[in-house]
Amino acid sequence: MNNIKTSKLDIILNAIQSGILIFDNNQELIHSNTCAEAILSRICPEDIILSIDDVRSIFNLKWDDNQGKIERDEIHKNGLSVSIIKHDILIDNNHTTLIQISDITGQKNQIATVYKQASDLLWKIRSRITPLQNALSLLTDYNDNLDEETTKELLKNSRFEIWQLERYMDTFRDMSLISANYLKQSLVIERLELDSLLDEALKNVKVFRIYAGIECTIQHSTRNKYYINGDKMRITRIIESVLLNAMIYSQKTAKIVITALRENDTVILRISDNGIGIPEADQFNIFTYGFRGENANKTEYNGMGCELFIARQVMLYNKGTISFQSRENQGSTFELQFGDSE
């Protein structure tokens, strides 16, 4: 240890993202980096660590004194989750103990959110199966007693439930791929005609509009042929999600304006609405996993805050972007930018 100048050691240790505590052969603290000090100031602000015994006592750790053994623990205190790893190392024939401290609160929270979202999605899938079963039961067991209007209503509702099931399963799949860092590898990139994607998305959201009885006028002013590179299914799904939000969060009759244009080597798709808009305080988090705006939570629609998060990930891997401009009670404009495949 004495061969390393303190200033150089500071530089090395402070460049490490984890907290580092170093103890000498007498188990007394001889060095700590700024990351360790920051974590300790939040998790045990009233305590002072001068030795390994202090670490054991403060965090109630059951370490033995066998040198050379790596000890691993995870503690939860003052709202934080912290990983602690103890290494016994030999430096210049002196036994030295290095304790690595990492704040894993964010990871824990993300894992908990993933589990909750998975549970919610599975429950939503299950909740859609029940009305389908009921409708099929009526159509098969009591078909002779059903009038034409009732039959059409059952079929319309069943079509909507199947459409919802498809969307929930697509969301579940993509959330699983994102969690496994495998979304990029799963994309099928091909040359696509943007107008065909728009037509497909409009046809799909019509199922929801009819079921929900939403009055909606859609102005689709651009019929030029623009070609992009992307994953067909997922780009269509992103367009659907933006259109659905425009319908769901409309204050009155939904008015949606769709425009497409080319600027230099970029194809731009804009979708504007006259909905409730996004409060300024919520706009920074709109693409955050699991987030829903304050005014969106006051509506009757129980979204999960996944669609825009997934959309940003997909657009990133398609070498594109998704952005928006919004004013509360006036509406929003979402913009998708793609590299031109011409």
Q: What is the DSSP string of 224-251?
A: ---EEEEEHHHHHHHHHHHHHHHHHTBS
Give the span between the Cα atoms of 323 and 74, in whole angstroms.
Answer: 39
Per residue in 286-342, pLDDT (tens digit) is 998 877 777 666 665 666 778 899 999 999 998 899 999 999 889 999 999 998 666
114: left (phi over 0), alpha (psi -120 to 50) or beta: alpha
Q: What is the pLDDT of residue 3?
A: 42
C-alpha distances (whole Å) from 221 to each of 253, 257, 340 are 19, 8, 20
| pTM listed for this prediction | 0.66
Closest CA to 269 of 285, 281, 257, 254: 257
Q: Tell me what pLDDT residue 8 has.
A: 52
Give the end-to-end CA distance of the chain in Å, rounded to a whole number. Answer: 62
8 A C-beta contact, residue 63 and residue 27: no
- Which pLDDT score, from 0 to 100, does residue 337 have? 96
Chain centroid to Cα 180, Å, comes to 13
Note the pLDDT of residue 222. 62
Alpha-carbon span 103 to 341, nearest angstrom: 44
Enumerate residue ranges in the chain where pLDDT < 70. 1-17, 65-68, 221-223, 251, 295-303, 340-342
Position 1 scores a pLDDT of 39
Do residues 258 and 271 lie in contact, with contact meaning Cβ atoms separated by under 8 Å? Answer: yes
With residue 218 as reference, give the H or E element that holds it.
strand 216-220
Q: Element (H or E) spanning 184, and its range?
A: helix 183-186
Do 253 and 216 contact (CB within 8 A), yes or no? Answer: yes
